Structure 1
């Protein structure tokens, strides 16, 4: 559906003053997928999303939508292709002097659609986003979440195949963000729209996305399924984002226990990651029964990823080293990820 091949974007004409916003971006997004791109401010996220519909033209590279390279299109054909790419923005971009009805209707008015067709379409979309009773109100009369739902309805007016979301929830409180994300899930499920989300909020990635790419300094440094990136981040920046959501930081009181010299030499600390059905199994209890070791859970949490439970525990395994190794092998055979961690890494 969306394919970026070796995309570069540079700003500035003089060599010594050039800003390299994108550095060889390669990205493939499947039809019907909700794909997230996360990164800190200045990472190049917004430049990337604006290159997808050529609001920013890449300095070099290829941008394919449904197999067609947009950079090869004549202006007329590009305008036609853009109609199938909707976009919603952080600050809503609504027309304050127009009613909610006319804000949603604007793309259809510009296309010259018949009034009855516009009326039917706008009312359908406003009902879909839960604002069917707000047609005659103005943007200033709505809350931030309601404004963003108007933005979603407007983006859907031209029946797009793709929806680009540029920090669409960063101006909203957590409860409102959750409501907007639920609307976007319904957009994907009911309209079969592919969604590309740009955000610096890892909670958004966790709650809605199928896959995620992590950006830093104009490059994608890591990408994969949300479950894989959350459970086994490969880069320090991905790990830092994951920690903002999963709160894997160990409390100081636990660290004091871990640093207790009485623990040294009698076993080891292990991080145990449970995914899916393995989360509900009595693994630690069964392991303690089968092997001559003691298991002490020193820190842990359980959350949900892709509507499946995920657990992250730190345990201290006490006993003979060979017996501990056998216990670790057993736990791995039960479908969990377990690896020894140093005291400094906890």
Structure 2
């Protein structure tokens, strides 16, 4: 569906003033996926998403949609292709002098669609986003969440295959964010639209995305399914993002307790079916090891139960090795944790 192949974006012509915003981005988004790209400010997120529809033209690389490289198209061909790429903005980008109906209708008016078609299409879309009773209102009469719903309806007007969301929930409160995410999930399911989301909010990634890529300094440093990236983050920046959601920082008092105890400390992560197994109880029954849970939590990711525990393990080293293998055989992730890594 969407493929970014070794995409670079460099600003500035003078060697001394060049800024390399994207450094060889490789990204693949399958049809029907909700794919999130997360990163801090200045990481290259917005440049990346603007390169997808060529609002920013990559310096090099390829941007392919359904196998067609946008960089190879003429201006006329690109205009046609862009009709299949909708975009939702952080600040809504609504025309304040136009009614809600006129805002949603604007892409269709510019495309020269018949008035009756426009009326039916806009009415259908405003009903879909729950704003059919606001057609004659103006943007200033709406709440932030309602404005974003107008933005979503407008982005859907041309029946896009792909929807680009650039920090679409950043200006919204948590409750409104949740309702907008529910609407985007509905868009994916009912319109079969592929969604690429740019955000710095890890809770958005957790709640709606199927896959996630982490960008830092114009480079994708990690990507994969949300459940895999959350449960086994491989880079420091990813771990810092995940901690904002899972709240798995070890309290100081627990760190001191761990340091004072003998034996080794392990982080035990379990997800899906393994959460239904009395894992620690079964391990203690089957092996001559003492298990002491210092810290942990159980939550849910993408509808999948997920647990993260810090466990002290005492006993014969060979017995501990067998106990660890026992847990791994039951789909748990077990890693020794040093004091410095707590």
TM-score grouping bracket, smaller chain normalisation: over 0.9
- CA distance in 2 between counterparts of 1:147 and 1:221 reads 34
TM-superposition CA deviations, 1:291-336 (whole Å, max 9, x none): 1222111111111112111111111112222222111111111111
Alignment match, 1:236? 236
- CA distance in 2 between counterparts of 1:206 and 1:279 reads 19
- CA distance in 2 between counterparts of 1:3 and 1:206 reads 23
- CA distance in 2 between counterparts of 1:62 and 1:3 reads 8
TM-superposition CA deviations, 1:68-96 (whole Å, max 9, x none): 11111111110000000000000000111
- CA distance in 1 between counterparts of 2:209 and 2:259 reads 38
1:318 aligns with 2:332: no
DSSP-derived class of the 2:310 partner? strand
TM-superposition CA deviations, 1:145-174 (whole Å, max 9, x none): 111111000000000000000011111111
Alignment match, 1:338? 334
| Structure 2 gaps, min length 5 | none
1:292 aligns with 2:288: yes
DSSP-derived class of the 1:221 partner? strand
| Structure 1 gaps, min length 5 | none
Alignment match, 1:17? 17
- CA distance in 1 between counterparts of 2:304 and 2:166 reads 27
DSSP-derived class of the 1:140 partner? helix
The correspondence of residues 247-258 of structure 1 with structure 2, limited to 5 A, is 247-258=247-258
Once the 2 structures are TM-superposed, how far is the Cα of residue 256 of structure 1 from its aligned partner? 2.1
Once the 2 structures are TM-superposed, how far is the Cα of residue 277 of structure 1 from its aligned partner? 1.3
TM-superposition CA deviations, 1:196-217 (whole Å, max 9, x none): 0001111111111111111111
Alignment match, 2:131? 131
1:276 aligns with 2:264: no
DSSP-derived class of the 1:35 partner? strand
Moved more, 126-135 or 69-78: 126-135
DSSP-derived class of the 2:151 partner? helix
- CA distance in 2 between counterparts of 1:309 and 1:157 reads 37
Q: How many residues align?
A: 342
DSSP-derived class of the 2:132 partner? coil
